[in-house]
């Protein structure tokens, strides 16, 4: 990175550190922070969407849809995350490939399952075996997003389901008395009011999601915890220009600061949202705001 | 969800335009001198050099991928990469699940690394990496075994007293013993392992044959021995 880094053995300590912290390997570490933030930025709305769908389905009067929503909430919440991540992702990936295989290679005569191997024709591979590495990484990333969204969506669905029931029933009845249809009551009365009840539960989920990102490595995505372990491990002078002892503690300390800082910022933002949502609501928070305004 | 499907479809399309005949090489990237991640973040080591040469001889385009040791076989079998080249010893147990090429290093004894040179390993607490021949060996002997996911952690366990010694390939332990004065290699060594080979899917006979031929040609012209000595990974053929 810097020009003086070429003779790394004679560097004064500060410059050595500057060179050390800008190796290609460290760049991978810094980039993985972006990966994690991007994952959170995409997963959170996606999970909310899954949750909203699940909760609406679980409230539905259509029986099959109702069962589907309730089964989704119950099953996904009940399966341990790690089992879900190991089993479901491989199954999902194989399901995609199986479908592509049926479409693209109809005259394939060999069995797809050969002992332990899962063999589909080359054209059905996802991504194709010939694809460059970044395509594989992007694909893995999106499979990770989808899995996270399904898992956290189930928890969000349960939170939203509860929040929808917490909206005072009198409000719904009044809306119906005014002649609103089911759909209108749902979108104009129920949904705008439920968020204030859902937010505490959703903010918990968000915090858990932030901390769950190391599960990414199970899916082959190199996340910050992987790099911290890799970079912090003892570096033998035979294999690196920047040898050092076991520095994992320092790397994990950096992660600690990152996670704590990130959750703190989240808390501040969530507090603001809560204040805004409480405005004009028939809740204790909303009442407090009304009083404060009256006093002023 | 719709966007996701579109994105995957778009990806699949882009992927179709890439060059043909790419072989994806899966390695661990945490086992110097066999394979490790170098300062610039690339896979490096004996197996990188060997793999690149083998691909050249077999006229294949190779791409390097890292994967955790623990799930390295399941991910090969489900098709995430095509070859395991990660210092993996050829054993009957693994051979039931995947196929191996001929070995590219001869069978070598495993060594112990400990804080004291006169440790009696029988009855001591031995650290080893999960799913290795060394872990299987210690378990079979009935000694106390502590397993770790990465090689680095097994050595850290000896350093902080959690284990009395670590059992691993000598080539991995020797550089560590050289570097740290208080860690020593024990005199006792164990004759385990049938040499190291590349792992391929059982249904991938063609690829296996290509690499077998390439390894044979490197054995014949002596370039494999040169590479082994350069990286000090094992005895030569």
What average pLDDT is seen over chain B?
Answer: 88
Mean pLDDT of B146-156: 92
* pLDDT at residue B237 in the model: 86
Answer yes or no: do B81 and B181 share one domain.
no
User: Would you say residue B169 lies in a domain?
Assistant: yes
Answer yes or no: do B41 and B82 share one domain.
yes
Answer yes or no: do B127 and B50 share one domain.
no
User: Would you say residue B185 lies in a domain?
Assistant: yes
Answer yes or no: do B75 and B96 share one domain.
yes
> Where is mean pLDDT largest: A86-90, A113-117, B75-79?
B75-79
Domain residue limits at B37: 20-106+195-231
User: Would you say residue B32 lies in a domain?
Assistant: yes
User: Would you say residue B42 lies in a domain?
Assistant: yes
Q: How many domains does chain B have?
A: 2
A139: contact with B, CB 8 A cutoff = yes
Chain A: closest CA distance from residue B65 (Å): 8
CB < 8 Å from B in window 201-260 of A: 217-218, 220, 222, 229-230, 233-234, 236-243, 246, 248
Instruction: Identify the structural domains of chain A with CATH numbers, from first to last.
Output: 13-295 (1.10.3720.10)
User: Could you report the per-residue pLDDT of A140-178, keeping only the tens digit for each?
Assistant: 888 888 989 999 999 999 999 999 999 999 999 999 999
A117: contact with B, CB 8 A cutoff = yes
- Structure-block tokens of residue A215: 């599960």
CATH code for position B130:
3.40.190.10
If you measure CA to CA, which chain A residue comes closest to B1? A46
Answer yes or no: do B95 and B26 share one domain.
yes
* pLDDT at residue B17 in the model: 37
Using CA atoms of A64, A68, A70, A76 in order, give the dihedral in degrees to the nearest 10: 170
For B5-30, the DSSP string reads HHHHHHHHHHHHTSPS-EEEEEE-SE
**Which region among A83-97, A220-234, A236-250 has the lowest average model confidence (pLDDT)?**
A83-97
* pLDDT at residue B47 in the model: 96
Answer yes or no: do B120 and B186 share one domain.
yes
Chain A: closest CA distance from residue B26 (Å): 11
* pLDDT at residue A1 in the model: 59
Answer yes or no: do B132 and B165 share one domain.
yes
Mean pLDDT of B147-174: 93
Q: Are strands B184-190 and B110-114 parallel, antiparallel or unpaired?
A: antiparallel
Answer yes or no: do B160 and B101 share one domain.
no
**Which region among A45-49, A215-219, B143-147 has the lowest average model confidence (pLDDT)?**
A215-219
Contacts of A28 in chain B (CB under 8 A): 41
Answer yes or no: do B131 and B199 share one domain.
no
Angstrom distances, CA of residue A234 to CA of B32, B198, B227? 11, 27, 25
User: Could you report the per-residue pLDDT of B32-70, keeping only the tens digit for each?
Assistant: 899 999 998 899 999 999 999 999 999 999 999 988 898
**What is d(CA A15, CA A8) in angstroms, rounded to the nearest whole number?**
9
Please report the ipTM that was assigned to this predicted complex: 0.77
Answer yes or no: do B29 and B132 share one domain.
no
If you measure CA to CA, which chain A residue comes closest to B172? A236
User: Could you report the per-residue pLDDT of A34-77, keeping only the tens digit for each?
Assistant: 999 999 999 999 999 999 999 999 999 899 999 999 999 999 99
* pLDDT at residue B27 in the model: 94
Answer yes or no: do B59 and B134 share one domain.
no
Answer yes or no: do B124 and B156 share one domain.
yes
* pLDDT at residue B1 in the model: 46
- Of the candidates B193, B199, B198, the one whose C-alpha atom is nearest the C-alpha of residue B234 is B193
Chain B: closest CA distance from residue A234 (Å): 7
């Amino acid at each position: 990175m810097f020009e003086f880094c070429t003779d790394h053995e004679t560097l004064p300590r500060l410059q050595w550190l500057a060179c050390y912290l800008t190796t290609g390997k460290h760049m991978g570490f810094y980039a993985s922070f972006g990966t994690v933030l991007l994952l959170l930025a995409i997963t959170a709305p996606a999970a909310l969407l899954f949750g909203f769908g699940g909760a609406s389905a679980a409230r539905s009067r259509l029986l099959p849809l109702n069962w589907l929503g309730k089964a989704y909430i119950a099953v996904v919440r009940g399966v341990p995350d790690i089992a879900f991540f190991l089993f479901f992702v491989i199954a999902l990936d194989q399901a995609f490939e199986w479908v592509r295989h049926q479409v693209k290679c109809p005259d394939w005569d060999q069995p797809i399952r050969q002992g332990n191997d899962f063999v589909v024709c080359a054209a059905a591979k996802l991504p194709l075996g010939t694809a460059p590495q970044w395509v594989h990484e992007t694909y893995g990333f999106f499979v990770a997003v989808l899995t996270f969204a399904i898992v956290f969506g189930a928890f969000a669905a349960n939170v939203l389901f509860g929040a929808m029931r917490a909206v005072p029933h009198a409000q719904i009845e009044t809306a119906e008395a005014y002649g609103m249809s089911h759909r209108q009551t749902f979108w104009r009365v129920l949904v705008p009011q439920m968020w204030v009840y859902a937010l505490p539960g959703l903010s918990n989920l968000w915090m858990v999601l932030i901390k769950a990102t190391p599960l990414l490595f199970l899916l082959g995505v190199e996340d910050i915890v992987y790099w911290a372990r890799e970079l912090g491990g003892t570096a033998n002078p035979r294999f690196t220009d920047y040898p050092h002892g076991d520095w994992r503690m320092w790397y994990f300390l950096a992660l600690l600061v990152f996670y704590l800082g990130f959750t703190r910022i989240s808390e501040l933002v969530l507090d603001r949202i809560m204040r805004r949502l409480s405005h004009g609501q028939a809740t204790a928070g909303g009442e407090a705001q009304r009083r404060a305004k009256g006093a002023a | 969800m719709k966007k996701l499907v579109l994105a995957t479809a778009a990806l699949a399309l882009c992927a179709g335009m890439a060059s043909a005949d790419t072989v994806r090489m899966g390695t661990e990237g945490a086992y110097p001198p066999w394979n490790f991640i170098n300062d610039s973040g690339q896979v490096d080591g004996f197996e990188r050099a060997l793999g690149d040469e083998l691909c050249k001889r077999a006229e294949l385009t190779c791409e390097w991928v890292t994967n955790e040791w623990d799930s390295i076989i399941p991910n090969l079998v489900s098709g995430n990469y095509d070859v395991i080249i990660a210092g993996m010893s050829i054993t009957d147990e693994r051979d039931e699940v995947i196929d191996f090429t001929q070995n590219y290093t001869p069978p070598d004894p495993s060594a112990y690394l400990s804080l004291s040179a006169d440790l009696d390993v029988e009855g001591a607490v031995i650290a080893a990496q999960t799913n290795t021949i060394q872990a299987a060996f210690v378990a079979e002997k009935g000694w106390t075994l502590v397993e770790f996911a990465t090689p680095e952690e097994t050595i850290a366990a000896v350093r902080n007293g959690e284990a009395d010694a670590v059992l691993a390939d000598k080539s991995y332990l020797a550089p560590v013993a050289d570097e740290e004065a208080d860690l020593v290699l024990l005199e006792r060594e164990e004759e385990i392992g049938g040499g190291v080979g590349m792992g391929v899917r059982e249904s991938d006979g063609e690829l296996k044959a290509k690499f077998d031929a390439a390894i044979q040609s490197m054995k014949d012209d002596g370039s494999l021995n040169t590479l082994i000595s350069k990286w000090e990974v094992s005895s030569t053929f």
